[in-house]
Amino acid sequence: MSSVAEPVKWAEKVIRRYVLDNKVPEMSECSSRVLLETQAGCFVTIHRKDGSLRGCIGTLTPTTRNLAEEIRANAVSSATRDPRFPPVSGKEMDDLYVTVDVLEKPEECDVEELDPQEYGVIVESGARKGVLLPNLPGVRTVADQIRIALAKAGISNKEDFRIYRFKVTRYG
């Protein structure tokens, strides 16, 4: 029996099938009742074996009927639609690994209530939104976390913005 968690197994299966065969697995191919019976936002992150980022796409709140569908959609997007990278190719597949972060509901907070190791952060000003997952390499302080999230959203630190925090369960 593999020790790889169900969310990661499912994401890897989806990515492999989509990249190699240009097809997505049917929901009937997901054997996890938990994934089929749970709703949550999630991020699917693809890493190179050297640890560098290769793709990351996610949803903050559920957009589909269940977590299996959420993972499937975000896995395909992470492999093919992250604007920072070209689509994953078949020849790369053996040099990649996947993590899945399942999000708890975001809650508005003050900067004093953040901890970059425990909470992800969302900064929001109007329609602009920047998101940073928790416990990322190189993000040691709340100031780092806010600065990076603001930059991702194109929000100046002089503008008014709202802060939300969220916890994740990370698989992989």
Whether residue 85 is predicted with pLDDT greater than 80 in this model: the reply is yes
Of 15, 10, 40, 45, nearest to 28 by C-alpha is 10
Q: What's the rounded mean pLDDT across residues 146-164?
A: 97
Q: What is the largest CA-CA distance in the chain?
A: 53
Whether residue 1 is predicted with pLDDT greater than 60 in this model: the reply is no
Grade residue 60 by pLDDT with cuts at 50, 70 and 90. Answer: very high
Res 73: pLDDT: 98
pLDDT tens figures, 23-56: 999 999 999 999 999 999 999 999 999 999 999 9
Q: What's the rounded mean pLDDT across residues 114-142?
A: 96
Grade residue 2 by pLDDT with cuts at 50, 70 and 90. Answer: very low
Token representation of residue 152: 């991702």
Q: Which domains does the chain have, with CATH numbers?
A: 6-103 (3.30.700.20), 107-171 (3.30.1490.150)
Res 95: pLDDT: 96
What residues form DSSP beta bridges with 98?
46
- Give the Cα separation of 117 and 28 in Å (integer): 36
Res 3: pLDDT: 61
Whether residue 81 is predicted with pLDDT greater than 70 in this model: the reply is yes
Q: What's the rounded mean pLDDT across residues 60-72?
A: 97
Whether residue 84 is predicted with pLDDT greater than 60 in this model: the reply is yes
